[in-house]
């Protein structure tokens, strides 16, 4: 899922202070699961903004709403009335949600209330870790399901780098060496021979270097 974290309250107030009526719009998908932009966080951030604005003497009215998914036009309709009756929208969705809103409501200022951070998983309660860099060409099959691009600090495709100590990364000793994990995993599944093959440089054309990426599925087009 997409993992995000909230911006702090003074920054948010700075972003929205020129408006009198603000809609704080949450998203019920990824950012709800990572506890950054769901119904509860909308409630907390709206309260915080109201209090903060009152203390600074700003006349800010804040409405709260959470829809199922912000990155989908079908769901965005549920917010249409609320968006219309407010001066601006503070989206607690990920970057995709914010832009979907901005594209659809062309005359309405839409602001990001979160910092969208990475694609990752919940490691343990309250801890999220990045697992995927969305590089465009997945190589996980080569590395026992452990991504060297995301999890190795040097993004090495032919590792390890020899800088690691025990199973720790030399860049950050608090992190596990991804290549240690790859070796252990390949050993466990009996695929160590994969490491004998030198991997050629990765094709990064399908990554972010050429601007935004699109996927077109002719079989689904109308």
Phi, psi of 103 (to 5 degrees): -70, -35
One character per residue 1-20, x = contact with other proteins (rule: CB under 8 A): -------xxx----------
Please report whether residue 55 would count as binding other proteins according to CB under 8 A: yes
The smaller minimum CB distance to other proteins, of residues 52 and 207, is found at 52
Binds other proteins by CB under 8 A, chosen from 14, 18, 21, 51: 51
List binders of other proteins among 58-77 (CB under 8 A). none
Q: How many CB atoms lie within 10 A of CB 54?
A: 11
Asked if 168 contacts 176 with a C-beta cutoff of 8 angstroms, the reply is yes
Please report whether residue 21 would count as binding other proteins according to CB under 8 A: no
Q: Give min distance, CB of 49 to other proteins, in A.
A: 9
- Name the segment binding other proteins (CB under 8 A); options: 23-31, 52-60, 148-156, 211-219: 52-60
User: Six-digit token pair at 114?
Assistant: 């979160």
The smaller minimum CB distance to other proteins, of residues 35 and 156, is found at 35
Beta-bridged to residue 72, according to DSSP, are: none
| Nearest residue to 186 (alpha-carbon basis) of 196, 171, 174, 172 | 196
d(CA 49, CA 22) in angstroms, rounded, equals 10
Query: ∠31-36-41 over CA atoms, to 5°?
Result: 115
Give me the residues that bind other proteins (CB under 8 A), please: 8-10, 40, 43-44, 47-48, 50-52, 54-57
């Amino acid at each position: 899922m997409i993992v995000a974290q909230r911006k702090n309250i003074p920054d948010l107030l700075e972003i929205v202070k020129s408006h009198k009526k603000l809609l704080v719009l949450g998203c019920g998908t990824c950012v709800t699961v990572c506890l950054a932009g769901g119904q509860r966080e909308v409630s907390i951030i709206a309260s915080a903004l109201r209090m903060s604005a009152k203390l600074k003497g700003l006349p800010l009215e804040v409405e709260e709403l959470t829809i199922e998914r912000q990155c989908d036009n079908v769901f965005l309709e549920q917010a249409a009335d609320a968006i219309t009756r407010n001066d601006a929208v503070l989206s607690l969705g990920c970057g995709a949600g914010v832009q979907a809103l901005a594209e659809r409501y062309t005359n309405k200022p839409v602001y990001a209330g979160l910092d969208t951070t990475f694609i990752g998983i919940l490691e343990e309660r309250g801890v999220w870790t990045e697992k995927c860099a969305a590089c465009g060409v997945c190589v996980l099959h080569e590395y026992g399901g452990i991504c060297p691009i995301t999890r190795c600090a040097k993004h090495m495709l032919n590792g390890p780098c020899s800088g690691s100590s025990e199973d720790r990364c030399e860049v950050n000793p608090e992190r596990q060496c991804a290549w240690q994990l790859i070796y252990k995993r390949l050993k466990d599944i009996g695929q160590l021979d994969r490491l004998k093959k030198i991997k050629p440089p990765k094709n990064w054309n399908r990554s972010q270097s050429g601007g935004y990426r699109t996927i077109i599925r002719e079989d689904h087009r109308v």
